[in-house]
C-alpha cells in the first residue's frame, strides 16, 4: 500500500458504476421534469453519447412475468429528456456510509475553516449548520460513523489578517502586505491584488496577483507580518492563472535544482513535510530522497538545521557550501564548546 501520498481518483467504469448512474439518472430527470441532454451529461460527467446509451438501456428494461411490460418510458427528442413513467426507481438510492461521511466530514471541516478564515457563508455558519443538519437527517444511520473522523484546521493564521483579506476580496480592493520569506530570511513589502483564499493541507493561503513579481503568488497567512487594505481597486490581469489546487500547490519546474539528501531516522520528517520525487530506504533507517526546488538557499538552511541527520549528496557544490557555512558558524563559538563566546564581531 505504499504509493504517492496523494493521487487523483481514477475513474474506473464498471458495470456497478454504471448501474449507480442509471439509478440516479431516472430521479435526476424526474425531479426536474424536463432537462437537456447536454446539461445532464455534464452533471453526470459522461459524454452525450454515453448518456444516450444509458437512456436507451433504461427504455429497454423489460420484466417478463407475470405479464410482460416495460416499466420505464422516456423520450429525448430534440435534446430534451422527459421520463413519463419511472415506476419504482423515481427516487435516488439512500446514501451509503462512505458517501454520507465524505460530505459530513468535509462540511465540518468547512465549519472549522470558517472560524479560521472568515469567508461569507462559512463565517455566518448558518448555511453550513443547516446543510449539516439536513444531510444528517437524510442520511439516517449512515451518518453515524462520520463522527469518528475529524478535521482540525491550523489556527495559527492571524484571525485579523483573514478578516481583512475577506473584506478586501469582498470589496475588490488591493492590499499591501508585509510578508516574511523564510527561504531568504527577509521581510518583504509588496502590493497584492487578492484572488481567493485557499486552505490546503491545513494551512491557509492568499492567492493573489503580486504587483512586484507581476505573477500569481501564494502567501501563507501565518507569514503575513502586517497588512493594509488599500483604497485602490484590485486589478487582476486577464493572464493571471489560478493554481490548480488539485495538482498540488507546488509544482516543480524543469529548471528547478535537483537535490539528493540522505536522511537519518531522526531526519526522515523532511520526506513527510516536502514533496519528494523519489524516496528510497538505504538501510539502518536512513532514507535517500530527491527534491526539486528553485531555491538553493532553502536547501542550505535545511542542511544546517539537519546537522548530522542529513547529508547532501548532490549537488556537490551545495554540500561544500553547507560545510563552509557550518565552519564559519562554529568559528564564532571559538574552538572549545564550554568557554565564553568570542564576540561575533571579531570573526568576519
Partner 1 sequence: MSKRKTERLLSLVVCLLSSQRYLTANQIRAAVPGYPESFDAFKRMFERDKEELRELGIPLDMGSNGPLDEELGYRIPRQEYMLPDIRLEPDEAAMLALAARVWRRAELAGAAAGALLKLRAAGVEAEETGQPGIEPRLTGEAAFGPLWEAVRDRRPVTFTYRAAGRSELQQRQLEPWGVVNRHGRWYVAGHDQVRDAVRVFRLSRIEGRVEFSGPRGSVKVPDDSDVRELVAEWDTQPVERHSAALKIRAGTGFGLRRWATSEQAGSDGWDVVDVPYSDLAWFAEHVASFGADVVVSEPADLRDAVITRLKGALA
Residues 6+ apart with CB under 8 A from 246: 8
Q: How far is the CB of 112 from partner 1 (least distance, A)?
A: 9
Shortest distance, CB of residue 163 to partner 1, whole angstroms?
13
Residues 43-102 that bind partner 1 (CB under 8 A): 43-45, 57-58, 60-66, 71-72, 87-89, 91-102
Return the residue of 36, 202, 252, 315 that touches partner 1, per CB under 8 A.
202
| Residue 237: CB minimum distance to partner 1, A | 16
Residues 256-295 that bind partner 1 (CB under 8 A): 265-266, 268-269, 272, 284-285
Between 67 and 255, whose beta carbon lies closer to partner 1? 67
Whether the bond into 315 is cis, omega within 30 of 0: yes
# of chain residues touching partner 1 (CB under 8 A): 136
Burial state string for 216-253 with b = 16 or more CB within 10 A and e = fewer than 16: bbbbbbebbeebebeeeebebeeebeebeeeeeeeeee
* Binding of residue 199 to partner 1 (CB under 8 A): yes
217 phi/psi in degrees, rounded to 5: -130, 155
Between 71 and 79, whose beta carbon lies closer to partner 1?
A: 71
302-315 in b/e form (b: 16+ CB < 10 A) is: bbeebeebbbbeee
CA distance 134 to 348: 68
Q: Which of 239, 246, 255, 278 binds partner 1 (CB under 8 A)?
A: 246
Chain centroid to CA 158: how far?
20
Q: Which of residues 293-322 bind partner 1 (CB under 8 A)?
A: 300-309, 322
Amino acid at each position: 500500500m505504499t504509493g504517492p501520498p496523494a493521487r487523483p481518483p481514477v475513474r474506473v467504469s464498471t458495470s456497478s458504476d454504471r448501474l449507480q448512474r442509471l439509478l440516479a439518472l431516472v430521479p435526476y430527470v424526474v425531479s426536474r421534469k424536463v432537462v437537456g441532454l447536454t446539461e445532464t451529461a455534464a452533471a453526470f460527467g459522461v459524454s452525450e453519447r454515453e448518456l444516450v446509451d444509458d437512456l436507451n438501456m433504461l427504455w429497454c428494461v423489460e420484466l417478463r412475468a407475470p405479464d410482460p411490460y416495460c416499466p420505464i418510458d422516456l423520450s429525448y427528442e430534440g435534446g430534451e429528456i422527459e421520463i413519463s413513467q419511472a415506476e419504482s426507481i423515481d427516487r435516488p438510492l439512500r446514501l451509503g456510509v462512505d458517501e454520507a461521511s465524505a460530505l459530513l466530514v468535509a462540511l465540518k471541516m468547512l465549519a472549522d475553516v470558517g472560524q479560521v478564515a472568515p469567508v461569507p457563508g462559512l463565517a455566518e455558519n448558518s448555511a453550513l449548520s443547516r446543510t449539516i443538519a439536513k444531510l444528517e437527517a437524510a442520511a439516517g444511520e449512515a451518518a453515524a460513523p462520520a463522527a469518528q473522523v475529524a478535521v482540525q484546521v491550523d489556527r495559527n493564521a492571524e484571525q485579523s489578517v483573514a478578516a481583512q483579506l475577506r473584506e478586501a476580496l469582498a470589496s475588490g480592493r488591493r492590499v499591501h502586505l508585509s510578508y516574511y520569506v523564510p527561504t531568504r530570511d527577509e521581510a518583504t513589502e509588496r502590493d497584492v491584488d487578492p484572488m481567493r483564499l485557499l486552505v490546503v493541507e491545513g494551512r491557509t493561503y492568499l492567492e493573489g496577483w503580486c504587483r512586484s513579481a507581476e505573477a500569481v503568488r501564494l502567501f501563507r497567512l501565518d507569514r503575513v507580518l502586517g497588512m493594509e487594505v488599500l483604497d485602490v481597486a484590485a486589478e487582476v490581469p486577464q493572464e493571471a492563472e489560478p493554481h490548480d489546487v488539485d495538482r498540488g500547490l507546488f509544482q516543480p519546474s524543469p529548471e528547478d535544482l535537483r537535490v539528493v539528501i540522505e536522511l537519518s531516522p531522526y531526519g526522515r520528517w523532511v520526506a513527510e513535510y516536502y514533496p519528494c520525487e523519489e524516496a528510497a530506504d538505504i538501510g539502518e533507517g536512513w532514507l535517500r530522497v530527491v527534491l526539486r526546488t528553485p531555491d538553493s538557499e532553502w536547501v542550505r538552511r535545511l542542511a544546517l538545521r539537519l546537522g548530522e541527520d542529513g547529508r547532501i549528496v548532490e549537488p556537490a557544490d551545495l554540500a561544500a557550501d553547507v560545510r563552509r557555512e557550518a565552519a564559519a558558524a562554529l568559528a564564532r563559538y571559538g574552538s572549545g564548546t564550554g568557554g565564553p563566546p568570542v564576540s561575533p564581531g571579531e570573526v568576519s
